[in-house]
Amino acid sequence: MNKYFPIAIILLMASSFTSLAQKNAKPTPEKPKLIVGIVVDQMRFDYLYRYYDKYSKGGFKRLMSEGYNCKNNHYSYVPTYTGPGHASIYTGSVPAINGIAGNDWYDRDSKKSMYCAEDTTVSTVGSTSKAGLMSPRNLLVTTITDQLRLATNFGSKVIGVSQKDRGSILPAGHTANASYWFDSASGNWITSTYYMKELPSWVKTVNDKRPADQYLKQPWTPLLPLTAYTESTSDNQPYERALPGEEAPVFPHKIANYEVLRTSSGGNTITKDFAIEALKNEQLGKGKFTDFLAVSFSSTDYVGHSFGPNSIEAEDTYLRLDKDIEQLLTY
């Protein structure tokens, strides 16, 4: 997320909406049944307008027309990496206070590099890789999701979902019911023993269906004809980086493995699909208390780093993400 900034979208979804007069008549406003927090990693604010004419009515346009669009925001910390960004959004504090000073930093006590979500006291749940040795223990303060759990005496459910561990763990906070992230070694959605000893049966079912495999069987092709991407520079610019196994950074792109899948629009789609499975199977928004689903879309960051913010690949990723967000909101 360096050099570029994330867009954070907080959605309050109430089971019903009351008129202003009814709200004024009540001493306490009705609480939403579900809050959905969406972070789009590396998204610049101008992407809302640059691709506006090509967005659907139910995605970014719906958020802009039915919600609030805050246009005078400032980042009061450096660097704007993924870890500090997610920590700052969900804690309301800066790295000097929340402790997430970067994606990595040098720890003077241990005299070694520390990863923001690193935790060697836990184990991976869902695969045999070391990708699950993660937890929120390096985060020094509470998140809005922690405060929600505390305010309801842990009656609220909080779940984090992202391809990146840090994009799921830091928003979900210390007291989350679960946090899930994508493991490139196995193609599974995994977690750590910080949260649970065994994956829920619904997560096992998702993993057994191998949803990521369909993107390895077909190339990433543009949603529109290449000539339609008028908001971007032409394909194959010298600053673009070819994906592993490719000779040139041009469409169509071969998705050679699960790690490469992250640098494609398919990575966002499997995140959306898993988030919907979490909503469905955990019955989020169906209980007595307000629940919180924290979703972070990471492929925008990977694509931006590989192809640049003005590439056709970036535009295609946002147009497809718009459809993913529409499907999530519709559900």
Alpha carbon separation from 153 to 150, 157, 295 (Å, rounded): 5, 11, 23
82 catalytically annotated = yes
Count of beta carbons in the 10 Å neighbourhood of residue 276:
18
Cα–Cα distance, 296 to 80 (Å, whole number): 15
Type and span of the H or E element at 13: strand 7-13
The one catalytic residue in 82, 124, 142, 290 is: 82
Give the DSSP letter string of 43-77.
--TTHHHHTGGGS-TTTHHHHHHHS---------S
Q: Which residues contact 285 (CB under 8 A, 6 or more apart)?
A: 13, 15, 33, 34, 279, 291
Cα–Cα distance, 9 to 20 (Å, whole number): 24
Beta-bridge mates of residue 291: 34
The DSSP output letter for 258 is H
Cα–Cα distance, 135 to 230 (Å, whole number): 43
Q: Which residues are catalytic?
A: 82
